[in-house]
Copies of this chain bind each other. A is one copy, B any other.
Amino acid sequence: MKIDDNFYMKLAIDEAWKYQLLTYPNPAVGCVVVKNGAILSIEAHKEAGKAHAEVNALKAAFLKVNPNSVLKTLNNSHDIHDYLKKNHNNFFEDCEIFVTLEPCNHEGKTPACSELLKILKPKRVIISVKDPNPKASGGLETLLDANIDVDIGILQNDGYNLLLPFISWQNKTCIFFKMAQTLNGSIDGKISSNRALAYVHTLRDKIDLLLIGGNTVRIDKPTLDARYIAGRAPDIMIYSKNKIFDNNIPLFKIPNRKVFISNDLFKLLDYKFVMIEGVYTLLEKFKERIDFMILIVSSKIRKGENSLNDIDLDFEIMHENFIGEDKVIFLKRK
């Protein structure tokens, strides 16, 4: 196996996918620090408002070699920036920094990564994808102006796949479809493990709106909150022509969220980040409107109704994560 720029970039991309969607409204980004050929850190951006991938990776790399540094106690992004700027002592000058997205160039909730790198002066910065957000871009120029070697476009297709949700919610309402099935496509009964269910609750905590089919509400009476992680319950759109539902089910009792019944898809545009939970009838209706799909697959074969037997769709697998024994597959239409 070749151990080259692609190898290290793949590590950065895989790490970033672990936090895909959870960084909303920020992009998922990964970063690897290599010093004289040794991997010092593999980190990612984990949540909006918290440290960027580069900052997490630079901190972990510095601590790998200086484990007792006071840096260990710092978590705030500004504090880490300040500490590294003052105490780097040329630690990074023989380092290569692999980052899946062009380092940000603007001071937002956290300081600009390009300014930090400019001061740390690593030997080389290797970037998969240029930032499509004009507000954040310009990092490349800052690095070049500081005479830092930069390579851009490494594993660019994988880098774009990682960025697809971000690009979609930057530009418009991002809509994705979530479905769970067994290995053979059965959707009957309880399919997912509790860990996979907790993951779905984590997603519900991030989205603005959850769209669900009227029949599912009538038959399954789901609560559709994020209680497994003590998270925020999203607004709910029950997609239904028939407006009559039993108002006593728990779905309608969750405080601080709106539940509305509609079959008007323009309502989706009032939101930025929408998850549709459903099976094939709903997928058939929304297949042309979704940006990507999350398929949660449990490693078992079960008799029962097949999840998808009426439609023909071709996908590209963007990434797969394991959540315990279940797989989470991120798919985009081909």
Contact A38/B41 with A184-B308, A308-B184, A312-B300 known, Cβ cut-off 8 Å: no
Q: How near does chain B come to A316, taking the closest CB pair, in angstroms?
A: 6
Give the copy number: 2
How far is A311 from B15 in the complex, measured between Cα atoms in Å? 37
Give A311's nearest chain B residue, CB to CB. B301
- Indicate whether A249 reaches chain B with its CB closer than 8 angstroms: no
Please state if B308 and A309 are interface contacts (CB–CB under 8 Å). no
Please state if A316 and B299 are interface contacts (CB–CB under 8 Å). yes
Q: List A residues 314-332 near B (Cβ within 8 Å).
A: 314-317, 320, 322, 325, 327, 331
Give A15's nearest chain B residue, CB to CB. B1
Contacts of A302 in B (CB 8 A): 312
- Size of interface on A: residues with Cβ below 8 Å to B: 41
How far is A2 from B55 in the complex, measured between Cα atoms in Å? 16
List chain A positions with a Cβ less than 8 A from chain B: 1, 3, 15, 36-43, 64, 181, 183-186, 295, 299-304, 306-317, 320, 322, 325, 327, 331
30 A–B contacts, CB within 8 A, in A order: A1-B15, A1-B41, A1-B42, A1-B43, A3-B39, A3-B42, A36-B36, A37-B38, A37-B39, A38-B39, A181-B184, A183-B185, A183-B331, A184-B306, A184-B307, A184-B308, A184-B309, A185-B185, A299-B315, A299-B316, A299-B331, A302-B312, A303-B309, A303-B310, A303-B312, A306-B306, A317-B322, A317-B325, A317-B327, A320-B320
